[in-house]
A and B are shown apart, each in its own frame.
Chain A
Amino acid sequence: MTADDRSALIELRAVHKWYGDYHALRGIDLKIRSGEFFSLLGPSGCGKTTLLRTIAGFEPISDGVMYLDGRNVAGVAPNHRPTNMVFQSYAIFPHLSVAENVGFGLRRDKRSKEEKARAVGEALEMVGLAGYGARPSHALSGGQRQRVALARALILKPKVLLLDEPLSALDKKMREQMQVELMKLQREVGITFILVTHDQEEALVMSDRIAVMFEGEIGQLGDPESLYRRPNSARVAEFIGMMNFLPGSVSGTTVEMPGLGRAEVAAEQLTSGSFTGPARIGIRPETLSLLFDGEPDRGRVAPGMVDEVVYYGDMTYYDVRLDGVPEPVRISMKNLIGRPVLDVGTPCRVTWDEQALVVLPAA
């Protein structure tokens, strides 16, 4: 048994879920470590909520095994699992006050009234709602409801907190603030968080590790940086951030591309394994640069022409036609002092770096 196995708090082996004849989860293998901030990321309908609900115990799995904290949880009801959930709708009980909501899970607790009240007070303070206990819960704002839901789930000190798109109902500013607060909270309490989201930026910002899901399967699992830098498929690459794809070919670790020529890559850049033949070569927009006067090239330069300019203030996105490349490539440039914004139709030079390439088999 490796150290990794021992610290796996949740383990899923070949988990399947059928809704009638709809195959919602198609063989999920997953280990989630204790104390980890883990995200399930994927487009809508890929089965994230379903997976979260099977862990919570709301949906029985159709096949496979699931261990929570070393215990096979087949047939174990939600109230007997060491998990608590923050629902997408928050599910704040509207007929109860804020304090009654937060203290709901303590009903079966043996502690005295005063101790319970203190625990509720502490939980409210933890989520920044100190003094809100007596308020009726139906009058709360979206952000406050979210905090009540968090306090209500955390007061039971679960081993795992499950969060189903907890930020999707909030406006952008509130969402960004809550992202930071959730991360802080998770570090503070040290509980494993499993976050479901379809927002790649949210997942990248908050998570220790991310499982990217498509159609009931995990497409790739890893930390944010490795997912971003070394996506193992075109759909992961396109789901997380933006990626240019050039048609080309590979033989061993030698890559041949139209317009950009030949390059040597490391084995790890063939992210879905080594192969020989036609390839799709991925380059992130920020790893390509327009070469302005006096700036150093990165060893390789290709000529082209500006096809489209999108100005964002801090950044400018250029679509550039490279000589010999069929489709324009997107390049993002920081708008540094002294750097002009080029016009459409301007001839330009593009520099790039072979370490930034990701090599995948052609579709």
Chain B
Amino acid sequence: MALRTYAILYLIFLYAPIVLLPIFAFNDGTIIAFPLQGFTTQWFEELWTTTALHDAVGNSIFIAVLTAIFSTLLGMLTARAGAMANFPGKGGIIGFIMLPLVLPEIIVAVSLLVMLRQVLDMDLSNWTVIAAHTLMSTPFSVAILNGAFQSLDPAMEEAAMDLGENRWSAFRLVILPLVMPGIISSMLIAFTISLDEFIIAFFLTGANPTMPVYIWGLLRFPAKLPVVMALGTILVTLSIVLLSMAEYFRRRGLRRAGVEDPGGFI
């Protein structure tokens, strides 16, 4: 009973601010305060006509898509190595790959900035953000894909090879279809992480801001606050949809492999 009360209070604490987003996004007033002024879709219309925002969204999507691809590829390599072979130092290596999960982002951002600018003398661009976002989202991809690869019966690949396939074709014909739900789930999560990420993008972005960085810029103009609320509403909705899809694919993957769900990752 006490536990349930705690859980409910926790959820209210967690989600109350998010509920405010759509409320003020449709509120007909520039000041973010109760009482509400009436219903409008004006802020959403304003979003539609701001070209600077469109550029930022375009940047963000470009970065998020490539981050999703890179981190999923790296995740697959790691998960497969982890599931297949036992090699010296395996535990330590996996530990290091998972480390960005717990490192403070601001530290990662600052050290990456120093590294890229001072040591490598590179120009900041979308690509530097992609590299950093890949670093941040790879642990999530590894976690998801580890589940997908480890729930695979190792005899599946051997059976394919026994029936005439080589390593690569066995992977393509049997392993890949079976872990595909995990791959999709990993791409969706990495995409979402990259799309929402602010601190690293703020430090490493080049001339073209990503969407979160652009939003941060808007905050200096109080009149723009409702627009930010409208944008936030869209983002939250999109994140929820993408994460639900990711979870759906993750579960479907486990079902396909014929294993009990060992508990959700999300």
Q: Do A and B come from one complex?
A: yes
Which residues on A are within 8 Å of B, measured CB to CB? Answer: 56, 58, 77-79, 83-85, 87-89, 91, 93-95, 104-105, 107-108, 138, 152-153, 156
Residues in A neighbouring B164, C-beta threshold 8 A: 79, 105, 107-108, 156
Partner of B163, one of A58, A84, A95, A138: A84
Partner of A94, one of B161, B163, B257: B257
- Closest A residue to B161 using CB positions: A78
5 additional A-B residue pairs with CB within 8 Å, beyond A78-B162, A95-B178, A104-B163:
A58-B161, A79-B162, A93-B174, A95-B256, A107-B164
Q: How far apart sit A333 and B101, CA to CA, in the bound complex (Å)? A: 70
Please report which residues of chain B, range 243-257, place their CB below 8 angstroms from some CB of chain A when the two chains form the complex: 256-257
- B177 contacts the other chain (Cβ, under 8 Å)? yes
Q: How far apart sit A35 and B164, CA to CA, in the bound complex (Å)? A: 23
Residues in B neighbouring A104, C-beta threshold 8 A: 160, 163, 173
Known contacts A93-B174, A94-B178, A95-B178: does B155 contact A87 (CB below 8 Å)? yes
- Closest B residue to A79 using CB positions: B164
- B258 contacts the other chain (Cβ, under 8 Å)? yes
Residues in B neighbouring A58, C-beta threshold 8 A: 158, 161-162
Q: How far apart sit A156 and B160, CA to CA, in the bound complex (Å)? A: 13
Residues in A neighbouring B258, C-beta threshold 8 A: 94, 138
Tell me the minimal C-beta distance from A95 to chain B in angstroms. Answer: 5
* Chain B interface, DSSP helix/strand/loop, else mixed: helix
- Is the pair B155, A91 in contact by a Cβ cutoff of 8 Å? yes
Cross-chain pair count, CB within 8 angstroms: 61
Q: How far apart sit A214 and B263, CA to CA, in the bound complex (Å)? A: 41
Residues in B neighbouring A156, C-beta threshold 8 A: 163-164
- Closest A residue to B258 using CB positions: A94
Residues in A neighbouring B163, C-beta threshold 8 A: 79, 84, 104-105, 152-153, 156
Residues in B neighbouring A153, C-beta threshold 8 A: 162-163
Partner of A91, one of B153, B165, B166: B153
- Is the pair B159, A138 in contact by a Cβ cutoff of 8 Å? no
- Is the pair B153, A89 in contact by a Cβ cutoff of 8 Å? yes
27 contacts between A and B (CB under 8 A): A56-B162, A58-B161, A77-B166, A78-B162, A79-B162, A79-B164, A79-B165, A84-B163, A85-B158, A85-B159, A87-B155, A91-B155, A91-B156, A93-B156, A93-B160, A93-B178, A94-B256, A95-B177, A95-B256, A104-B160, A104-B163, A107-B173, A138-B256, A152-B159, A153-B162, A153-B163, A156-B163
Q: How far apart sit A91 and B177, CA to CA, in the bound complex (Å)? A: 15
Please report which residues of chain B, range 131-181, place their CB below 8 angstroms from some CB of chain A when the two chains form the complex: 153, 155-156, 158-166, 173-174, 177-178
Residues in A neighbouring B166, C-beta threshold 8 A: 77, 79
- Is the pair A88, B162 in contact by a Cβ cutoff of 8 Å? no
Residues in B neighbouring A85, C-beta threshold 8 A: 158-159, 162
- Closest B residue to A107 using CB positions: B164
Tell me the minimal C-beta distance from A234 to chain B in angstroms. Answer: 36
- Closest A residue to B174 using CB positions: A93
- Is the pair A84, B178 in contact by a Cβ cutoff of 8 Å? no
Q: How far apart sit A58 and B159, CA to CA, in the bound complex (Å)? A: 10
Residues in A neighbouring B178, C-beta threshold 8 A: 93-95
- Closest B residue to A85 using CB positions: B162
Q: How far apart sit A360 and B37, CA to CA, in the bound complex (Å)? A: 101
Scoring B164, B166, B257, B258 by chain A CB atoms within 10 A of each residue's CB, the highest score goes to B164
Tell me the minimal C-beta distance from A58 to chain B in angstroms. Answer: 6
What 3 A-B pairs come out closest when comparing CB atoms? A105-B163, A91-B159, A91-B155
